[in-house]
């Protein structure tokens, strides 16, 4: 029986594979079935065969314009939805002082569901407009507000992992912490209620804030909860020097920061850890062994003067790496900014050490798409244009009217992609699709 086809597009498709950082498919036909999955991707000359095999009409084919292309939707592997209200400000302190002065006071406001609704609606809309089809969100310690973030992501059609933050240690802002028991109970309630909603694209992620915010007992309990429910895990690791030093003082029985999480069963093939600037080669080997991944957050690493992650070294250790905006340590909610910051960080490392092999824009494009899907253990569903995967994609017009890019010469698809990655913004993103459903432009009732 022929697959029912909902959409067919003809034009240029650009994506990454495991073997190739950049694959450009010119004059190709891509079909999306009624389940939102990619049914075929073939050369344009196969149109007649496809018409016969899949039963659609020539008039069903949407033709892309000359300067347009499809690329996979971008995957933000680390973003604090609850910090969006002050993104672009308050970047004058290092990490631990920044958390106490700016972050915890704002996050404590999310017990107010009206405030939470306002912020979470804006961050989901903004990231979708920026081409983020999948986001791995930190919320706050408040269960009901965290559930609301899941509902909003579902309503707008964004694929999301949502984490209720767990922290039973916080002497700085006394009203913004839980007891170990509360954290465990509320995490279980959050997981049960979110799963019970049966949202097709929104799932819970177990979220200890980081080792300094949690007792060893709570970390162990969260590891068990994740294992028993086969859930994703997210946290932070080795972000700045002071943090690493304090972790080693707090957990003297552990060999390393990574070992703290490892002993608590928090390093799995569904774990994503943000930053990793100061991980040793031995720690990277443990990431590789457990299948845990790193979220590279270059804007935040620089904005809070935290450090640099040597992505080349992580990749050489065969560690999975994706990109994160890390709002609001990172001041931009755009994955295009994460791409640019990742390239700049790699070039700074080459300035410091000419032997360092700089990342190419093609490699960073892969980190933002397929790499992110691998980091979140979702690469069987998303990340590129393979048959059977969900159609998570953005339609880009480099020559969009009133857009930020002036196309003075025509250089072909690779030229257009590099232009967009370095100079483009949401004005170039004509449409965004998640699981085959068009989510941008927003329907009238969501504008």
- Per-residue pLDDT of 11-30, as tens digits, reads 999 999 999 999 999 999 99
Which pLDDT score, from 0 to 100, does residue 1 have?
Answer: 46
> CA-to-CA distance for 44 and 198, rounded, in angstroms?
38
Residue in this structure with the two tokens 């004509």, named with its chain if needed: 430
Which pLDDT score, from 0 to 100, does residue 3 have?
Answer: 81
Closest CA to 349 of 315, 316, 311: 311
Beta carbons within 8 Å of 216's beta carbon, 6+ residues apart: 251, 260, 264
Contact 352, 8 (CB under 8 A): no
Contact 190, 163 (CB under 8 A): no
Q: At what angle do helices 143-156 and 113-129 cross, to 10 degrees?
A: 30
Beta carbons within 8 Å of 354's beta carbon, 6+ residues apart: none
Q: Which residues of the chain have pLDDT under 50?
A: 1
> CA-to-CA distance for 157 and 241, rounded, in angstroms?
39
- The pair of three-digit structure tokens given for residue 352, joined into one six-digit string: 């410091």
Which pLDDT score, from 0 to 100, does residue 213 have?
Answer: 97
Contact 403, 424 (CB under 8 A): yes
- The pair of three-digit structure tokens given for residue 196, joined into one six-digit string: 């019970």
């Amino acid at each position: 029986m022929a697959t029912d086809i909902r959409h067919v597009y003809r034009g240029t498709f650009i994506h990454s594979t495991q073997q190739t950082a950049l694959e450009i498919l010119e004059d190709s036909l891509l079909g999306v079935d009624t389940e939102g999955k990619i049914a075929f991707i073939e050369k344009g000359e196969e149109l007649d065969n496809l018409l016969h095999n899949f039963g659609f009409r020539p008039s069903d084919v949407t033709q892309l314009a000359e300067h347009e292309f499809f690329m996979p939707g971008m995957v933000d592997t680390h973003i604090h939805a609850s910090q969006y209200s002050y993104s672009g400000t308050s970047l004058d302190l290092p990490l631990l002082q920044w958390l106490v002065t700016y972050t915890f006071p704002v996050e404590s406001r999310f017990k107010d569901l009206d405030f939470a609704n306002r912020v979470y609606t804006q961050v989901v809309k903004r990231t979708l407009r920026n081409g983020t089809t999948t986001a791995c969100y930190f919320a706050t310690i408040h269960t009901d507000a965290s559930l609301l973030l899941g509902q909003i992501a579902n309503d707008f059609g964004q694929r999301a992992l949502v984490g209720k933050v767990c922290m039973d240690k916080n002497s700085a802002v006394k009203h913004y912490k839980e007891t170990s028991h509360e954290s465990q109970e509320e995490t279980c309630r959050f997981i049960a209620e979110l799963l019970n909603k049966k949202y097709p694209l929104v799932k819970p992620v177990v979220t200890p804030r980081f080792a300094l915010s949690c007792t060893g007992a709570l970390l162990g309990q969260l590891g068990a909860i994740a294992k028993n429910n086969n859930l994703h895990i997210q946290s932070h690791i080795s972000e700045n020097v002071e943090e690493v030093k304090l972790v080693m003082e707090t957990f003297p029985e552990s060999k390393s920061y990574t070992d703290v999480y490892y002993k608590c069963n928090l390093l799995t093939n569904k774990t994503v850890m943000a930053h990793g600037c100061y991980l040793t080669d031995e720690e990277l080997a443990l990431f590789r062994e457990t299948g845990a991944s790193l979220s590279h957050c270059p804007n935040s690493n620089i904005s809070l003067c935290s450090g640099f992650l040597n992505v080349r070294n992580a990749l050489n250790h065969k560690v999975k790496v994706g990109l994160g905006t890390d709002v609001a340590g990172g001041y931009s909610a755009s994955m295009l900014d994460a791409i640019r910051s990742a390239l700049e960080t790699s070039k700074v490392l080459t300035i410091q050490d000419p032997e360092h092999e700089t990342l190419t824009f093609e490699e960073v494009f892969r980190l933002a798409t397929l790499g992110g899907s691998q980091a979140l253990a979702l690469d069987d569903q998303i990340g590129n244009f393979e048959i059977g995967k969900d159609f998570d994609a953005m339609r880009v017009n480099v020559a969009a009217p009133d857009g930020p890019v002036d196309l003075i010469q025509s250089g072909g698809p690779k030229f257009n992609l590099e232009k967009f990655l370095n100079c483009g913004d949401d004005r170039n993103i004509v449409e965004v699709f998640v699981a085959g459903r068009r989510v941008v432009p927003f329907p009238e009732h969501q504008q």
